Structure 1
Amino acid sequence: MDDEYLAYVNGRLASLRRLAFLLSGSRDQADDLVQEAITKLYARWPKISRTDNVDTYVHTAIVRAFLVEKRRGWWRRTNRPAPPERAEEEAPMLRTALRRIPARQQAVLVLRFLGDHSVADVAQILGCSEGTVESQTSHGLSALRRILGPTAHAANLFPAVKIQEGGL
Structure 2
Amino acid sequence: MDTGAPGQESTPFDGWVAARGPALLKLAYTLTGNAADAEDVVQEALARALPRWERISRVDNVDAYVRRMVVNAHTSWWRRFRRREAPVELVREQVVVAEAVPPDERARLWRACQRLPEAQRTAIVLRYYEQLEYAEIAELTGVREGSVRSRVSRGLSALREAMGEADE
Distance 1:142-1:84 versus aligned 2 partners, 3 A rule: closer
Shift of 1:145: 1.9
- Asked if 1:114 is matched to 2:141, the reply is no
Which amino acid in the other structure matches residue 31 of structure 1? E
For 2:115, give the aligned amino acid.
R
Q: Which residue of 2 aligns with 1:85?
A: 91
Q: 1:29 to 1:73 in 2, by over 3 A?
A: closer
User: Where does residue 19 of structure 1 map in the other structure?
Assistant: 27
Q: Which runs of 5+ in 2 are unaligned?
A: 1-8, 98-105
Asked if structure 2 preserves the Cα contact closer than 8 Å seen for 1:105 and 1:140, the reply is yes
Name segments (4+ residues, structure 1) moved above 3 Å. 72-75, 81-90
Taking the aligned partners of 1:34 and 1:15, their CA distance within structure 2 comes to: 10
Alignment correspondent of 2:147: 132
Q: Which ranges of structure 1 fall in alignment gaps of 5 or more residues?
A: 153-167
Aligned counterpart, 1:38: 46
TM-score under structure 2 length normalisation: 0.78
Summarize deviations over 1:101-147 as a string: whole Å, max 9, x none.
Answer: 11011000000001111111111110112111111111111111222
* CA contact 2:10–2:57 (8 Å) conserved in 1: no
Aligned length in residues: 151
Checking the alignment, whether the CA contact within 8 Å between 1:63 and 1:126 is kept in structure 2 is yes
Matched, 1:56 2:71: no
1:87 to 1:15, Cα distance in 2 relative to 1, 3 A: closer
Q: Deviations over 1:43-79 (max 9, x none)?
A: 211111111011122111111222223323555x387
Q: Does structure 1 conserve the Cα–Cα contact (< 8 Å) formed by 2:157 and 2:166?
A: no
CA RMSD of aligned residues (A): 2.6
* Aligned-partner Cα distance in 1 for 2:85–2:161: 30
Whether the 8 Å contact between 2:121 and 2:155 is mirrored in structure 1 is yes
Q: Percent identity?
A: 36
